[in-house]
Structures are given as structure tokens and as C-alpha cells.
Amino acid sequence: MKFLDEYRDADTVRRLADAIAQATTRPWSIMEICGGQTHAILRFGLDEMLPRAITLIHGPGCPVCVTPIEMIDKAVAVAGRPEVTFCSFGDMLRVPGSQKDLLTVKSEGGDVRTVYSPMDAVALAERCPDRQIVFFAVGFETTAPANAMAVAEAARRGLTNFSLLVSHVLVPPAMRAVLDAPANRVQGFLAAGHVCTITGLEEYRPIAERYRVPIVVTGFEPVDILQGVLMCVRQLESGRFEVENQYARTVRPEGNLAALRQMADVFQVVSRKWRGIGEIPASGLGLRPEFERFDAERRFQVETITADEPAECIAGEILQGHRRPNDCPAFGVRCTPSHPLGAPMVSSEGACAAYFRYRRQ
């Protein structure tokens, strides 16, 4: 299959692994930002092909995983209201809140629906004017343009029964938080290709310069990831700290300008809490004042809901790359995909789910 088979070619993968081994003269720790990259690394055993001197660290790159527990509690509170039809992508339904998840709300009679686009929720609001339609807007810069477009379209149609529960987060501030942490071990990054398809490269250059870390924008197939590691290692070995683009077949340096304009029209940068990490300044998106009427937190008065993370779950340590999923005493015993303690065991991009599926032993 074009653009797939050639990026899983075994001979190319072996050549890249050999090139990484030849280029490596000292230990290096590299963090992959995206949960999709984490799953590919474990699925194809890429980490086991690398020299022992190269350590791959799994970062906070799963949007489901970093959604704070109190936001799940807000979603549960809104979804349980009799006048609400709560719409979400399916991967959010089983993320545990402090008491229950959205799937439990649905089992108790709540009108919770899986949709494939925020525009599905807009269309539903137009068809059902007697219902309050709420869409759970979760994700990084990748999903923000579509959610912004949904709000703009709802405004254009004059819909008064549509709103977003917004939990958008931004990648560059999270990278800075990782690098600023006292226990930081990261010396280079594999940046998420799909995020950079929207944002482009410019936001990453100040990070590379200030922290003296190479950042390589990388795709999601084995050849992509090993090529990204090789580019990062070559920078580290030569003392360079630049932003490079391995995923040039998709990512343009300027990003997607139309998507960026749509985001800027509807959203503004705000501080945002991250599950297990806490609040990171200027790390999220919220609705601009002119679109506040579409803010589900305000509409249903759930802004003050707070919740604590379960003490047994070490999701925050895992998301920051300080520990691995199988370091957790509950992993695979009291925390499984069918009975998760935290979001990283639920999400298709979560590190705990990846270890449970590919590296349980």
C-alpha cells in the first residue's frame, strides 16, 4: 500500500537500526511526544532494536490520557442532565472520573452518544431544537480546528442549544514543563507529526534553542520513527540543537494556515490542568469571549467541580516520562483495560494500554 508498505519495509528498518548503532557513541535519552508513536515503538519492537545507549522515554502525547479527572467529572455531571444529549468520540467514554465514567452514565439512562465529527453534533442540534447538545472537545492542536469550525458553524446557523465542553491542550508548553522538571532526563524529542501538520515548525525553534535539545518532527511508522531517532542522535552527537522535519511528506514548515486561522478566530490560549501533572500556564485553549455562549462549563455551571487523582495511579509520573507503566504495582493486576485506574490504560494511544497489549510480561 502506497505510503504504508515502504515505511514498514524490514530491510530499511534494519539498515536504520544499524545506522543508529554506528552513530551512537554515548548514552542519550529521547522522548517521543505522541502516544501513537509509543504504540508503534512497542508493537514493532523498535526500542529493542536500538543500542543499549539509546533510551526512549514516553511523553504526555495522548490527549485522552492528559484530560484531568475533574474534566471527566464535569462531563459526567453535564451528561447526566435530562435535557442534555452528550456527544463524544468513543475513546472518552471509558475514561474514569472520580466516581464513574461516561459509559456508566449511558447505562444509567443518560443520552450519551458516540459521534465521528463535531459537525455531527451541530447537525443534531439543528434537528433537535428541544435538546441541549454538548460536544466533548478534547485533544491537542490536531482536533482543535474542527471543533473551532463547529462553533463557528453553530454561530452562523443561530443555534442556541449547542455547546462545547472544552479540554484542549497544547504540545509546546508541555515540552517546556517536561524540560523544566527537576527530574528531567530528556535530551531530545521526536515531535508529533500530526500536531505539526497543523502548527508547522516555528513554535518548536525557541524550545530547541533555549533548552539546547534537538527536536525532530516524526511520523508514525517504523521507518519514520527510526529515521527520526537517527536524525536526533546525529544532532546530539554533533552538538547541534535544531528543529528538523522527518515527516516532510505531510508537514509543511508553516503548517496549515487555514486551520490556524480557524483556531485563532474561535479559541484563545488559557492555562489548563493536565491529568497527574497539574496546571501548566498557557497550555490550553478556551473559547474567546465572543463565543462564550457556547461554553458548556458556563452554561451548566460546572466550573467549580474539582477532583483528586486516585492515589494508587501513577499516571502523572508515566506521562512525564519519570516512570514506565510496568513500574506501577497496579499494572495488569488492579489496573487493566477492562477495569482501568487511569486514562493511560484506556486510550488507544495510552502508554499503559500499549504495555498491557505488547509488553505485559
Domain boundaries, the chain: 5-62+184-245, 64-170+255-299, 315-358
C-alpha cell at 74: 464535569
Q: What is the pLDDT of residue 32?
A: 96
pLDDT band at 297 (very low <50, low <70, confident <90, very high): very high
- Answer yes or no: is pLDDT of 1 > 70: no
CATH topology for the 5-62+184-245 domain: Rossmann fold (3.40.50)
| Nearest CA among 238, 182, 192, 240 for reference residue 217 | 192
| Nearest CA among 359, 349, 295 for reference residue 326 | 359
Least confident residue range of 18-22, 323-327, 356-360: 356-360
Q: What is the pLDDT of residue 168?
A: 96
Least confident residue range of 37-46, 58-67, 148-157: 58-67
Domain spanning 64-170+255-299 has what CATH number?
A: 3.40.50.11740
Average per-residue pLDDT for the chain: 94
- Answer yes or no: is pLDDT of 2 > 70: no
pLDDT band at 140 (very low <50, low <70, confident <90, very high): very high
Q: What is the pLDDT of residue 295?
A: 98
- Answer yes or no: is pLDDT of 82 > 80: yes
- CA distances in angstroms from 249 to 3, 230, 243, 244, 246, listed in the order given: 9, 18, 16, 13, 8
70-90: b or e for each residue (b if 16 or more CB lie within 10 Å)? Answer: bbbbbbbbbbbbeebbbbbbe
Q: Rounded to whole angstroms, how far apart are CA atoms 168 and 171?
A: 10
C-alpha cell at 244: 528538523
Q: Rounded to whole angstroms, how far apart are CA atoms 168 and 162?
A: 18
* Helix residue ranges, H only, the chain: 10-23, 35-43, 46-49, 63-66, 69-79, 102-107, 118-127, 144-157, 171-180, 193-199, 205-211, 222-238, 257-266, 296-299, 315-319, 351-358
Q: What is the pLDDT of residue 361?
A: 64
Tell me the one-letter amino acid at 174: A
Q: Rounded to whole angstroms, how far apart are CA atoms 98 and 352?
A: 19
Helix 144-157 vs helix 118-127: crossing angle, to nearest 10? 20
Residues in the chain: 361
Q: What is the mean pLDDT of residues 28-37?
A: 95
- CA distances in angstroms from 294 to 81, 89, 111, 281, 303, listed in the order given: 17, 19, 19, 23, 14
Q: What is the pLDDT of residue 208?
A: 98
Q: What percent of the chain has pLDDT above 70?
A: 99
Least confident residue range of 2-6, 226-230, 288-292, 329-333: 2-6
| Nearest CA among 77, 64, 96 for reference residue 297 | 77
CA angle 225, 227, 228 (to 5 degrees): 60
- Answer yes or no: is pLDDT of 81 > 80: yes
172-221 pLDDT per residue, tens: 999 999 999 998 999 999 999 999 999 999 999 999 999 999 999 999 99
Tell me whether domains 5-62+184-245 and 64-170+255-299 share a fold: yes
pLDDT band at 338 (very low <50, low <70, confident <90, very high): confident
Q: What is the pLDDT of residue 105?
A: 97
pTM summary value: 0.93
Using CA atoms of 223, 44, 3, 251 in order, give the dihedral in degrees to the nearest 10: -60
- CA distances in angstroms from 141 to 138, 276, 283, 284, listed in the order given: 10, 20, 11, 9
228-253: b or e for each residue (b if 16 or more CB lie within 10 Å)? Answer: bbbbbbbbbeeeebebbbbbeeebee
